[in-house]
């Protein structure tokens, strides 16, 4: 159970990092993730069955997700379609594209195929036991992606991307094209989502055309859950809380699935739980339910001019803030 929570939390955490880029950094409501996530899964499975190695298949999946993000960004920037509608249009079109990639099959299995994850499990099984080898690999991969994003957002281009979501006029005043920055950010976000879909297909052992249904909702729930726990403006902490929120969200889903029968809860109720969790996170964030209470500092009645017997320092027109008796001021004009 713990291995499954960690694997899914870390793998889906890569997708949530992409959601973080679009929704938080760029302030762009991108719904393309529901189509780019299964697209990465489909590309991964098809290329593996054609004999490509796993790293090359993962790169193909990332490129396919980036292409999906490129379509969304061009529809938005060139055709002037609103961001939400452009993502919905691309997501709808990707359903047919994914079917084409999978040769008009809704599901392709990898159960009889020796994948990278099965080899890791066979290699680490005698020493670690279970799926802990896969957990270690997913942790290293996800942390490497997080570190790369942290370094990227400390570059000039990454800082410009962060400024674009908060103040687009600032980017324009610096002589940079905001459309180019927005296009690159959306492509990067969907590439990460497609990579997460590719790893998900390796873990689950199949690719399905409906694998991305509701994936953006779970990504937003993970994102808001992490923001509810950790409050910080540092990019290192912001990407860290994204991964923590993803693991916590998967843990809550596991608990609801394994122990929800006590309250007559079924897997059909997971979408309801996700929606209620998002509403709770929004309300808690707006009302600062988990924010530490600040102590009010009462003013000292004995402080201030005239209360302690001291008069304020005299002001001289020559040097603001320097008094005539200030040791740092000139001792006299005769010198």
| Cα gap 284→206, rounded to integer Å | 38
- pLDDT tens digit sequence for 4-36: 899 999 999 999 999 999 999 999 999 999 999
Cβ–Cβ under 8 Å, residues 139 and 159:
no
Which residues have a Cβ under 8 Å from the Cβ of 239 and sit 6 or more positions away?
Answer: 17, 20, 146, 149, 150
Count Cα atoms within 13 angstroms, Cβ side, for 54: 14
Lowest mean pLDDT among 80-94, 293-307, 313-327: 313-327
Phi, psi of 309 (to 5 degrees): 85, 0
* Most confident by average pLDDT, 162-171, 184-193, 254-263: 184-193
At residue 329, the pLDDT reads 44
Phi, psi of 18 (to 5 degrees): -65, -40
Which residue, chain included where needed, has tokens 């002001």? 315
Mean pLDDT, residues 215-243? 92
* Dihedral-angle region of residue 80 (phi above 0 means left; psi in -120 to 50 means alpha; beta otherwise): left
Full-model pTM: 0.83
Write b or e for each residue in 114-153: b if 16 or more Cβ atoms lie within 10 A of its Cβ, otherwise e: ebbbeebbeebeeebeebbbbbebbbebbeebbeebbeeb
| Cα gap 321→153, rounded to integer Å | 40
Q: Quote the DSSP letter at residue 125.
A: T
Does residue 231 carry a pLDDT above 90? no
Does residue 178 carry a pLDDT above 70? yes
| Cα gap 211→42, rounded to integer Å | 10
At residue 290, the pLDDT reads 62
Q: How many angstroms separate the Cα of 201 from the Cα of each of 61, 129, 243?
A: 11, 22, 20
- pLDDT tens digit sequence for 239-251: 999 999 999 999 9
Mean pLDDT, residues 111-136? 79
Mean pLDDT, residues 279-291? 76
The percentage of residues in the chain with a pLDDT greater than 90, rounded to a whole number, is 56
Which residues have a Cβ under 8 Å from the Cβ of 50 and sit 6 or more positions away?
Answer: none
Between 298 and 250, the more confident residue is: 250
Mean pLDDT, residues 164-183? 90
- pLDDT tens digit sequence for 65-74: 999 999 999 9
Which residues have a Cβ under 8 Å from the Cβ of 221 and sit 6 or more positions away?
Answer: 249, 274, 277, 278, 281
Does residue 267 carry a pLDDT above 80? no
Task: Tell me the domain boundaries of the chain.
Answer: 2-211
| Cα gap 132→6, rounded to integer Å | 9
Cβ–Cβ under 8 Å, residues 236 and 100:
no
The rounded Cα 236 to chain-centroid distance in angstroms is: 12
Mean pLDDT, residues 180-208? 95
What is the band of 141 on the pLDDT scale with cuts at 50, 70, 90?
Answer: very high
Residue 269's SS3 state is: helix
């Amino acid at each position: 159970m713990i291995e499954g929570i960690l694997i899914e939390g870390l793998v889906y955490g890569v997708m949530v990092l992409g959601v973080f880029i679009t929704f938080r950094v760029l302030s762009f409501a991108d719904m393309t993730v529901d189509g780019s996530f299964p697209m990465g899964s489909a590309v991964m499975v098809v290329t593996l069955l054609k004999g490509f190695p796993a790293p090359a298949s993962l790169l193909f999946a990332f490129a396919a997700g980036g292409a999906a993000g490129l379509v969304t960004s061009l529809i938005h920037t060139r055709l002037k379609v609103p961001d939400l509608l452009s993502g919905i249009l691309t997501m709808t079109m990707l359903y047919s594209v994914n079917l084409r990639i999978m040769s008009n099959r809704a599901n392709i299995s990898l159960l009889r195929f020796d994948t990278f994850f099965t080899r890791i499990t066979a290699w680490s099984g005698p020493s670690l036991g279970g799926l802990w080898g896969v957990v270690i690999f997913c942790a290293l991969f996800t942390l490497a992606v997080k570190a790369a994003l942290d370094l990227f957002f400390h570059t000039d281009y990454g800082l410009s991307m962060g400024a674009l979501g908060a103040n687009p006029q600032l980017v324009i005043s610096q002589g940079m094209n905001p459309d180019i920055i927005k296009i690159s950010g959306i492509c990067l976000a969907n590439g990460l989502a497609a990579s997460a879909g590719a790893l998900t297909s390796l873990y689950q052992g199949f690719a399905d055309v409906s694998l991305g249904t509701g994936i953006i909702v779970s990504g937003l729930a993970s994102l808001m859950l992490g923001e509810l726990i950790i409050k910080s403006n540092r990019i290192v902490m912001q990407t860290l809380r994204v991964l923590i929120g993803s693991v916590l969200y998967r843990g809550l889903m596991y608990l609801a699935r394994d122990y929800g029968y006590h309250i007559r809860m079924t897997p059909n109720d997971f979408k309801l739980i996700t929606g209620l969790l998002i509403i709770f996170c929004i309300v808690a964030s707006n009302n600062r339910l988990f924010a530490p209470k600040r102590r009010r500092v009462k003013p000292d009645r004995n402080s201030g001019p005239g209360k302690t017997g001291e008069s304020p320092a005299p002001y001289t027109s020559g040097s603001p803030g320097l008094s005539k008796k200030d040791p740092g001021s000139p001792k006299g004009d005769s010198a």
